[in-house]
Structure 1
Amino acid sequence: MLGAVERPQAWPSFLHQVGVIELGKDRIEGSRLLVVASQANRGATFIAQSVTKQGLMRSYVQNGNPPWLFEFFVNESSNL
């Protein structure tokens, strides 16, 4: 999807999705999209894997982040 956002003319099948992403991004002042290696953003990678592999699609939204996840991000940010 990031390729489609960066070069929508090369991905005409995804124009609708690109529009939705751009609209959401425009609503958050100062937001931007960055491509980073998964090692540089292990927290997001972990969340994505827990959603796709363990089916935890609604748990983070319904219940908020678990305490260990906050600690995970704190430790990750100290390694930057």
Structure 2
Amino acid sequence: MCYMVHGMLGAVERPQAWPSFLHQVREIELGKDRIEGSRLLVVASQANRGTTFIAQSVTKQGLMRSYVQNGNSPWLFEFLCQ
């Protein structure tokens, strides 16, 4: 998984070197362009554990809209600040 992320970041940075990913690169660029000041970073999984936790709760528990509709919970804030 980590290789895939680094590969996709490489494809975004140098699309001519990754022609098979042109469609995915364009989709990433379009999404990134919609968020002013956004940038792509590679961070250690430990530094990004809150995002991993949310993604797992969506995929494993089916909580598709709970964080967006209800806002973040106090426990989530505590989890992210640990």
Q: Same fold (TM over 0.5)?
A: yes
Give the C-alpha shift of residue 13 in structure 1. 4.3
Secondary structure of 2:49 counterpart: helix
Q: 1:3 to 1:49 in 2, by over 3 A?
A: farther
1:21 CA displacement: 1.6
TM-score (ref. length: structure 1): 0.69
**Residue 13 of structure 2: aligned partner:** 6
In structure 1, the gaps of 5 or more residues are 75-80
Change (3 A) 1:63 1:23: same
Aligned residue pairs: how many?
Answer: 74
- How has the CA–CA distance of structure 1 residues 29 and 39 changed in structure 2, closer, same or farther, with 3 Å as cutoff? same
Per-residue deviation at 1:19? 1.4
* TM-fit CA distance, 1:47: 0.7
Fraction of identical pairs, as percent: 92
Extract structure 1 runs of 4+ deviating beyond 4 A.
none
Counterpart of 1:17 in structure 2 is 24
TM-score (norm 2): 0.67
What secondary structure is seen at the aligned counterpart in 2 of 1:34? coil
SS of the equivalent of 1:4 reads helix
Question: Superposition RMSD on alpha carbons, in Å?
Answer: 2.1
